[in-house]
Amino acid sequence: MRAYILTLFTLMVSGGVWGQEYIIEINPFGKNEYPKGFKVKYNSTIRVKINNINPFLGKGSVDVVTSNHDFNDLKNTLDALKGNIENQTAEMIVTDSMAIIGNPPPQEKIDRDFPHYYNNFFEAYSNLTNLLLLKERQDNYISSVLLIKDIDVFKNQIGQFVIKEGEIKRNYQELENSYRSLRDANATTKEYYAKEWKDAQLKKENVHSDEFIKSINNVKQYVEQQASFAQHTEFSYLDDARQIRDDKVVITPKIYDKTGLNVLRKFPDFTITPTHKLRVNFSAGYLLSFIGNEEYGIRYENDKAKGVTKLEENKFSHALGALTHAFYDFGTSLDYGITAGISLNTEAKMNFYGGLSVAFTKENRLVLTSGISFVNVNRLNPSNLDNELDFASSNVEVNYIERYKPAFFVGLTYNLKK
C-alpha cells in the first residue's frame, strides 16, 4: 500500500509540470470556442481572442500601414492642367480679337442657353467639393457599428471612399470645359446673367486656390490611410498569455474604446478550471469502520459467578469525521487522491483514518473514501481471568480495556471547498 501511494504521489507531481496553450475565441456572430468543459491543464497558458471587432472603435494592438502623398505633386498636376486650358483660351481670345479689329461689332444677342451652361458648371463644381465630404462619410460608416459581421464587405466599403488621382483630374477637366461655355458667352449675355457669371468666376477661383487643393489632398490621404489600415489590421483582439495556476479563473471579455477608459461592450464571463494538478481540500461526513466493541457477560454455575462469556461482537463502528484530501485532477469527471483524517466515535473516542478517495458529482463536492482505520474499541481485560475465562480472583466483574485496532473503513463526506 505504501509503495502504491508513493507512486501515485510521483505521478501527481510530475504530471503537473507540463501545460498547454489555449486560445479562447469569442465570436459575437457565431459559436464561441472554449476549452472542453472549461478546463485546461495546470500550468497551461490561455489567451482570449475577441473576433469581429471594429478596430477603428475598439481597443486593440495593431500595425498600421500608411502611405504618404506629396501635396505639391497634386497641385503641380492641377496647375499644369489649368495652365493648358488657359493657354488654349488665350489663343482663342487673340484670334477673335484680331478678327474684330476694324469696324465695331453689331449689338450681340443674349444667349438663352447660358443658364444651362451654368448648371453644367455647377454640377462639375459640386463633384469637386463633394470630394471634401468623403472623409466625414467614411468616418460615419466606420463608426456605425462596433462588431462587424462581414469583415470583407466592411473593408470593401471603406475602400469605396478612396479618391483616385484620375477622378480628381477628370472633375477639374469637366469644370474647365463647362466654364469655357460661360466664359465664351458674349458681353451682353454675361451682363444679363451677371449673378450667375460672377458666381461661376468665384467658384472657379475657389477650386484652384491652394487652400482648396490642399484640403482635397488631405482628404485623399486620410481616406487612403483608413482604407489601408482596414486592409492590414486585425479585426480581433488577442490578449496577453496568462498561466493558469489557481483553482478557478473567471474571465470577463470586454471591448474598450480607443482611450482604454470606457467599456463599449461586455461579454458574459466564464470560468476556467485547471486540471492535471494537485489540490488539497477538506471534507466532513460519515465514516464506517468494519470493527466494533466486544461485549461480555458473567457466566454462572449453581448461582455462583464462575467466569465470563462472550455475548456478541459489534462488527461496525460509526463516526462523524473530518478528512484531508490530496486530489489529483486527471481532467475527467472524477478526481482521485489520498486521504487522512480523524473522527470521534459514539463514545467520543478519537479514531484515525488513511486511504484513497474519489471525488464526484458537480464540482466534485461529494467524496467517497476507503482504506485503513485505527479505531478505539473495547476489548476484554483478562487480568482477573484464567485461560478458560473463569474468574481467578475475588474480582468477579467484567473488565474492559481500550485498544486501537486496524480495520477496513469506508466514508462518504462532503467537500468543504469547491
pLDDT at 100: 37
pLDDT at 124: 92
| Per-position b or e across 280-310, b if 16+ CB within 10 A of its CB | ebebbbebbbebbbeebeeeeeeeeeebbee
In degrees, rounded to 5, the angle at the alpha carbon of residue 366 between the alpha carbons of residues 365 and 368 is 140
Kindly report the average pLDDT of the chain as a whole number.
Answer: 80
**Most confident by average pLDDT, 345-354, 389-398, 400-409:** 400-409
pLDDT band at residue 31, thresholds of 50, 70 and 90?
Answer: confident
pLDDT band at residue 91, thresholds of 50, 70 and 90?
Answer: very low
pLDDT at 96: 40
Q: Beta 294-301 vs 304-313: how paired, if at all?
A: antiparallel
Q: In this predicted model, which residue has the larger pLDDT, 409 or 261?
A: 409
C-alpha cell, 386: 484464567
Quote the CA–CA distance of 385 and 286 in Å, as a whole number. Answer: 37
What is the arithmetic mean of pLDDT over 244-266?
Answer: 85
SS3 326: strand
Q: Is the pLDDT of residue 23 over 70?
A: yes
Quote the CA–CA distance of 181 and 203 in Å, as a whole number. Answer: 15
pLDDT at 74: 57
Q: Is the pLDDT of residue 244 over 90?
A: no
**pTM exceeds 0.85:** no
Quote the CA–CA distance of 397 and 235 in Å, as a whole number. Answer: 90
C-alpha cell, 64: 498600421
Quote the CA–CA distance of 69 and 81 in Å, as a whole number. Answer: 19
Q: What is the tens place of the pLDDT at every residue in 109-144?
A: 888 889 999 999 999 999 999 999 999 999 999 999
pLDDT at 59: 64
Q: What is the tens place of the pLDDT at every residue in 132-177?
A: 999 999 999 999 999 999 999 999 999 999 988 888 899 999 999 9
Q: In this predicted model, which residue has the larger pLDDT, 4 or 298?
A: 298
Q: Is the pLDDT of residue 8 over 50?
A: no
Percent of the chain at pLDDT > 70 equals 82
Q: Is the pLDDT of residue 313 over 80?
A: no
Quote the CA–CA distance of 369 and 358 in Å, as a whole number. Answer: 7
pLDDT at 270: 84
SS3 397: coil
**Which residue(s) pair with 301 in the sheet?**
304
How far the first Cα of the chain sits from its last, in Å, is 29
Quote the CA–CA distance of 296 and 313 in Å, as a whole number. Answer: 9
What is the arithmetic mean of pLDDT over 51-69?
Answer: 55
What is the arithmetic mean of pLDDT over 42-52?
Answer: 81
**Which residue(s) pair with 49 in the sheet?**
25, 238
Q: What is the tens place of the pLDDT at every residue in 319-371?
A: 899 999 998 888 777 888 999 999 987 777 899 999 999 988 766 678 999 99
Q: Is the pLDDT of residue 78 over 70?
A: no
